[in-house]
Amino acid sequence: MTISTKRILITGGAGFLGSHLCEYLLNQGHEVLCVDNFYTSTRRNILHLLKQPNFELMRHDVTFPLYVEVDQIYNMACPASPIHYQRDPVQTTKTSVHGAINMLGLAKRTGARILQASTSEVYGDPQVHPQTEDYWGNVNPIGVRSCYDEGKRCAETLFFDYHRQHGTGIKVARIFNTYGPRMLPEDGRVVSSFIVQALQGNDITIYGDGSQSRSFCYVDDMVKGIIGLMNSKEELTGPVNLGNPGEFTIKRLAEIVVKMTGSDSNIVYKPLPQDDPRQRKPDISQAKAELNWDPGVTLDEGLKPTIAYFQERLCQTEPGALSNP
Partner whose footprint covers residue 15, from ligand NAD, ligand UDP, none (CB < 5 to 8 Å by kind)? ligand NAD
Residue 110's binding partner among ligand NAD, ligand UDP, none (Cβ under 5 to 8 angstroms by kind) is none
Q: Shortest CA distance to 239 belongs to which of 296, 272, 286, 186?
A: 286
**Residue 269: φ, ψ to 5°:** -115, 135
Specify whether the CB–CB gap between 23 and 54 falls below 8 A: no
Q: Which is nearer to ligand NAD, 77 or 240 (CB)?
A: 77
Site string for ligand NAD, 73-102 (x = CB under 6 A): ---xxxxx--------------x---x---
Smallest separation (angstroms) from ligand NAD to the CB of 14:
4
The site for ligand UDP (CB under 6 A) is made up of: 81-82, 177, 188-190, 193, 205-207, 212, 214, 250, 273, 276
Gyration radius of the chain over CA positions? 19
Residues 21 and 221: beta-carbon distance below 8 Å: no
Ranges within 229-268 binding ligand NAD (CB under 6 A): none
* Residue 41 binding ligand NAD, by CB under 6 A: yes
Site for ligand NAD in 160-219 (CB under 6 A): 175, 177-178
- Active site residue: 148, 162, 179, 218, which one? 148
Count other Cβ atoms within 10 Å, centred on residue 65.
12
16 binds ligand NAD (CB under 6 A): yes
Closer Cβ to ligand UDP, 3 or 268, answer by number: 268
Least distance in angstroms from the C-beta of 298 to ligand UDP:
19
Q: Cα–Cα distance between 85 and 284 in angstroms, integer?
A: 26
Helices 190-200 and 299-313: angle between axes, nearest 10 degrees: 60
Number of C-alpha atoms within 13 angstroms, CB side, residue 221? 27
Angle at 187 between CA 197 and CA 46, to 5 degrees: 115
Closest CA to 109 of 68, 77, 159: 68
- Binding residues for ligand NAD, rule CB under 6 A, total 28
Residue 39 binding ligand NAD, by CB under 6 A: yes
- Is the backbone peptide bond immediately before 282 cis, with ω within 30 degrees of 0? no
How many Å apart are CA 12 and CA 18, to the nearest integer? 6
User: Which of 14, 106, 258, 287 touches ligand NAD (CB under 6 A)?
Assistant: 14
* 148 carries an active-site annotation: yes
By the rule CB under 6 A, 62 interacts with ligand NAD: yes
Q: Which residues are catalytic?
A: 148
Residues that bind ligand NAD (CB under 6 A): 11-12, 14-18, 36-41, 61-63, 76-80, 95, 99, 117, 119, 175, 177-178
